[in-house]
Structure 1
Amino acid sequence: MVRLACIVYVTIVFFAFGGKCFDILEFNDKLFDNAIEMNRVLDPDSAFTSWIRMIMKLPQFSKRELSDHQSIRYQGDDLLHRLMPFSMMGHHFGEWMLNDLEKKKEEERVYTIATFLGCDCMYEYIDEDGIYRGFHVDLLNAVCREAGKKCVNQVVPQSACLTHRSGEIPHAGSAILGKQIDICLGWSKTSARTLSVDYTEPFVRFETEVLFVVKSGNPNNFDPNDIRGKKIGFEDGYFTDKICLLHARHRIVGVDTMQPHQEVYKDNFKILLEDVRHDRIDAFFAISGRIAPYLKDEFEFIGDDVGCVTEKSFHGIKRKDNPLTWFDETLKAMKENGKYHALCHQANIDHGHKGKIDCSTE
């Protein structure tokens, strides 16, 4: 439709100026060729769009600037005056075409919202039929449906969304940085994380403690208040990292002097529990509510809670250059009109056997 309209416009210009129009079209062809060169790695319509944008600039040219172009200078003032109305028409026509292209592009866009199987709990789990379920899945489907957006759920490792390796600060994961994912759901906010990612409107509140995990009975006499020379396990991508541990530097000796070889990051907490069992690490620094169901009689928590989150609620995380205002606006509106709380209430019925969802975010 847009390309047909453009052909009609060029045809009008051709008949208005006769053979002399070839010079104008040649000028436009050069612009179009440049647009293709600049946009060869972008989407198929981008070169065409850039060409329209260039044509739309013609009304901004002064008479002297237009006369400077070799292709139309010799035509004289008469051609210049005849060109300007069509140039003005081209500006408005081009504006309409651009708006139409952008609207169609947004209508066809599919947003990728990621979740990860972090806790096998009410937020995400696989049921007896092998179906991936949980409140995060319900939430993304409801927000996208309410906003009229096409979305798909991509299940990824948590490190694809946000990662933290030994000796580094936490930073956005490969799938976020690589623009494979627009939003990752189910993340708490910390001051360190805000350096590399932005957060969505909060949803659900959580209460948890951050503690050390050791073997039952603490046979190696691990002292949670003195970790000098100890190897500590951290789960990659979680806020229970070295920076979180630094919040307790005033009472835990040895935190400030930890060396990279003392920080052991693994992608799976079950591997870290195995490391504790076989004395490969001295303790595992973990979220109590997340790990408690897996401790059984083999492991125990030790020490006092280390608080290191700025808000006790879950958010989505996204790239800083990807505002996605529609997600926040829709989620906020759903909170105000009651649809969010209705969704959360139904989720407690559907997934309550996996734990209670606290719909309060205040």
Structure 2
Amino acid sequence: MESANSEKELYKKDNAGRGGNGKLYLVLIVAAVCFAFAAFVIAIVSLSMQTGSASPSVVNVGSAAGLTSVDYDDDKVWMIHNGHSGYNVQYISEKTGRIEGFDVDIINAVCRIANKNCKLVADIWTNCWDTVTGETARGGTGLMSGWYDACGGYRVKPERQRTFAFSDPFTVSPHQSFATLPGNPRGFDWQDITGKTIGFFDGGSGDEHCLAKSEEIVGAVLPTENIRHCTTFEECYDLLVDETIDAFFSDATYVRGRTDVDEITNRLQACPVGGSAMMTRLDSKLIDWWNPAQAKLIASKEYHEICNDVKITHGHQAGYDPEDFCIGL
């Protein structure tokens, strides 16, 4: 009896051991299969990343124009703000109803060279750059909020560089002027403006902050009560006529060639550090493709043709002569 019971116990132990080992073998086999499958998936993904192409929306922008390669969405519409000051750099054409002028011709040419789809957006100046009497100048609501990708034809100024980025300028740095009624009937002395009330274009580069930097003008830092802002030339002109202001100060673009006012200063350069450029948000990628395309334009005959066209096509509008602002003329 004892011998038979011993044999049964040994049989149970032997079968138990075999069953445990079988389970262990099964677990190892399953783990090996899972590991092999995971390695296979990783290899396929890796091969796909190495040999596959990028997303179809990413293209080489510069290839068509021979420019530096920059990857962008080729279907993007670049919205560019353009004001309409009424001068030969930008104005609303009575024939076409569209904004035309030197700035527009430059923008169209650069976008064509860069093979970009650009759309001009007509809007007020202060939605790009705003100047509030007695306060620090600030970025305009439109550009800050992303209504446009850039504001075209804005002068490079230190105040603006604190908020926005700029492309390379496509004109030389502008000059500023004081303007009075023809003949300067009130005897305004631009070299000493102490106690005088001056008008400024709202949002313009020739603002009160610009004037304050002039070292050749006595009283250049005006008290708030001696500052008046106007949004158009007509508003500034009316302030001159009713003697609300003694003169207005602006880029010479806005008074050069007019007969209803006299420009009583010449070659006064108070504050801009650069000419007209594309003003963008700091996170914009527009400048990356704009600068190489613009460089190609300025180095070509087309740039000089656009400059000469200021007199030919846009000559019916007041403003600068091409030799006053075009690069290399």
**Pair 1:308-2:264 in alignment:** no
Deviation per residue, 1:190-240 (Å, 9 max, x gap) = 222222222222223476442253575443x54434434433211112111
Query: Residue 159 of structure 1: which of 123, 126, 131 is its match?
Result: 126
Counterpart mapping for 1:132-211 below 5 A: 132-205=99-172, 208-211=175-178
Alpha-carbon spacing, 1:107–1:240, altered in 2? closer, same or farther (3 Å):
same
Q: CA deviation at 1:334?
A: 2.6
Within 2, Cα distance between the matches of 1:248 and 1:215? 24
Maintained 8 Å contact 1:122/1:356? no
Map of 1:277 onto structure 2: 241
Query: Residue 243 of structure 1: which of 209, 214, 222 is its match?
Result: 209
Query: Residue 56 of structure 2: which of 74, 86, 100 is its match?
Result: 100
Map of 2:279 onto structure 1: 317
When structure 1 is superposed on structure 2, of 280-289 and 229-238 the one drifting more is 280-289
Maintained 8 Å contact 2:307/2:326? no
Q: CA deviation at 1:131?
A: 4.0
Query: Residue 232 of structure 2: which of 268, 291, 298 is its match?
Result: 268
When structure 1 is superposed on structure 2, of 227-236 and 149-158 the one drifting more is 227-236
Maintained 8 Å contact 2:310/2:321? no
Q: Unaligned stretches of 5+ in structure 2?
A: 1-29, 60-70
Within 2, Cα distance between the matches of 1:138 and 1:198? 22
Maintained 8 Å contact 1:122/1:357? no
Q: CA deviation at 1:292?
A: 4.3
Map of 1:28 onto structure 2: none
- 1:252 counterpart letter in structure 2: V
Within 2, Cα distance between the matches of 1:172 and 1:240? 15
Within 1, Cα distance between the matches of 2:128 and 2:248? 22
Maintained 8 Å contact 2:93/2:99? yes
Maintained 8 Å contact 2:83/2:90? no
Maintained 8 Å contact 2:130/2:137? yes
Please say which structure displays the higher CA radius of gyration: 2
Q: Provide TM-score, normalisation by structure 2.
A: 0.72
Within 1, Cα distance between the matches of 2:31 and 2:96? 78
**Pair 1:83-2:46 in alignment:** no
Map of 1:340 onto structure 2: 303
SS in 1 for 2:255: helix
Query: Residue 327 of structure 1: which of 281, 286, 290 is its match?
Result: 290
Maintained 8 Å contact 1:189/1:314? yes
Q: CA deviation at 1:287?
A: 3.0
Within 1, Cα distance between the matches of 2:308 and 2:256? 25
Within 1, Cα distance between the matches of 2:143 and 2:236? 25
SS in 2 for 1:108: coil
Alpha-carbon spacing, 1:337–1:272, altered in 2? closer, same or farther (3 Å):
closer
- 1:331 counterpart letter in structure 2: Q
Identity %: 20
Alpha-carbon spacing, 1:332–1:90, altered in 2? closer, same or farther (3 Å):
same
Alpha-carbon spacing, 1:102–1:123, altered in 2? closer, same or farther (3 Å):
same
| CA RMSD after TM alignment | 3.3
Q: CA deviation at 1:139?
A: 2.2
Q: CA deviation at 1:326?
A: 0.8
Map of 1:43 onto structure 2: none
Within 2, Cα distance between the matches of 1:225 and 1:356? 26
Within 2, Cα distance between the matches of 1:92 and 1:339? 48
**RCO higher in 1 or 2 (8 Å CA, sep ≥ 6)?**
2
Q: Provide TM-score, normalisation by structure 1.
A: 0.66
Map of 2:66 onto structure 1: none
Q: Unaligned stretches of 5+ in structure 1?
A: 1-74
Within 1, Cα distance between the matches of 2:200 and 2:309? 34
Within 2, Cα distance between the matches of 1:351 and 1:280? 32
Within 2, Cα distance between the matches of 1:303 and 1:351? 25
SS in 1 for 2:313: helix
Alpha-carbon spacing, 1:83–1:101, altered in 2? closer, same or farther (3 Å):
farther
Maintained 8 Å contact 1:209/1:288? yes
Within 1, Cα distance between the matches of 2:43 and 2:306? 51
Map of 1:23 onto structure 2: none
SS in 1 for 2:275: strand
